[in-house]
Amino acid sequence: MNYQEGPDPKFPYLDQHQRFFFPDPLYAEGNIVAVGGNLSPGMLLSAYEQGIFPWYNPGDPVLWQSPDPRCLIFPHTLHISRSMQKILKQGKFTITINRDFDKIIRACSEMYRPGQGGTWISEDIIAGYCELNRLGYALSAESYLDGKLAGGCYGVLLGNVFCGESMFTKIPNAAKAAFLTLAQYLFFELKVRFIDCQVPTDHLISLGGVELGREEFLSLLREGR
């Protein structure tokens, strides 16, 4: 079957109140749950509510994925090293929440990542998530040094669950300071139950990430909805 490259212009646009039912990721043989569709607000929100997110390379159709295992950070597992505690206490970086989402996601798209030939954060992805931010479903955290943007991160907020998407840094520890500040805000002010970090990495594990199987993750996600 031939698929449209990127979002399918013929697929219906779903607004923030409309929903789409994806195949249950619990029964997916691999990480990819579905192929095609678009990045309209209703599609993106439907995906995250069902434990799925878009992740595809330029030239591909939209690929909807649900990795197994999954990496989650909980309030009780969040780890802030002594060195980072010192940096945060000293106020080396000025951290803001949702001050400049557009700049953060675009900076993430431009960040060089070893082992990757390009970026998966395409113009379609940028437009889709900026619209979620405008609607109040996506947040960013910004880290500034001497008034200049030094790092940051962004993700999708679904009630009591936050789904982290990407981060970038221009100066060591800038992105980490933004993420840890955002995590504390999410956990202790917004009472978020956990942060979905998607694919486990050594960096995320060092911040308190815990690996869970897909079934356990989906069960936790559905408990709070």
What's the pLDDT score for residue 112?
Answer: 62
Residues 70, 64 contacting (CB under 8 angstroms): no
Tell whether 45 is covered by a domain: no
Q: Which stretch, 2-6, 119-123, 139-143, has highest mean pLDDT?
A: 139-143
Give burial (CB, 10 Å; 0-12/13-18/19+) of 189.
exposed
Is residue 46 assigned to a domain? no
What is the Cα–Cα distance from 139 to 143, expressed in whole angstroms?
14
The Cα–Cα gap between 39 and 30 comes to: 22
Question: Rounded to whole angstroms, how far apart are CA atoms 50 and 220?
Answer: 11
Q: pLDDT class for 116, splitting at 50, 70, 90?
A: very low
E strand or H helix at 185, and its extent? helix 174-188
Res 4: pLDDT: 81
How many distinct structural domains can be found in the chain? 1
Model confidence at 120, pLDDT cuts 50, 70, 90, reads confident
In the numeric block, which tokens belong to residue 114? 């070893």
Domain that holds residue 207: 71-223
Residue in the structure block whose two tokens are 């970090």: 197
Average pLDDT score over the chain: 94
Which 8-state DSSP code applies to residue 225?
-
Give percent of the chain with pLDDT exceeding 90: 91
118's CB contacts (< 8 A; 6+ apart) are: 57, 58
pTM attached to this predicted model: 0.94
CA dihedral sign of residues 158, 160, 164, 170? positive
Give the pLDDT of residue 45.
98
CATH number, position 207: 3.40.630.70
pLDDT tier for residue 127 given thresholds of 50, 70 and 90: very high
- Give tens-digit pLDDT for 138-196: 999 999 999 999 999 999 999 999 999 999 999 999 999 999 999 999 999 999 999 99
Give a yes or no: residue 218 inside a domain.
Answer: yes
- Alpha-carbon dihedral sign for residues 133, 139, 145, 151: negative
- Report whether pLDDT(14) > 60: yes
Q: Is residue 17 part of a domain?
A: no
**pLDDT bracket for residue 111 (50, 70, 90):** confident
The reply to whether 125 falls in a domain is yes
CB contact at 8 A, 38 and 62: yes
Determine the residue type at 77.
Answer: T
Under 8 Å between Cβ of 49 and 77: no
Residue 130 lies in a domain: yes
Strands (DSSP E) contained in 70-192 are 70-73, 94-97, 138-145, 148-158, 161-169
Query: Tokens 């955002």 label which residue?
Result: 182
Please, which residues bridge with residue 94 across strands?
144
Residue among 75, 80, 82, 66 nearest 198 (CA): 66
**51 has pLDDT over 50:** yes
- Asked whether residue 1 is assigned to any structural domain, the reply reads no
What does the pLDDT look like over 59-93, one tens digit per residue? 899 999 999 999 999 999 999 999 999 999 999 99
Q: Evaluate if residue 26 carries a pLDDT over 70.
A: yes
41 located within any domain: no
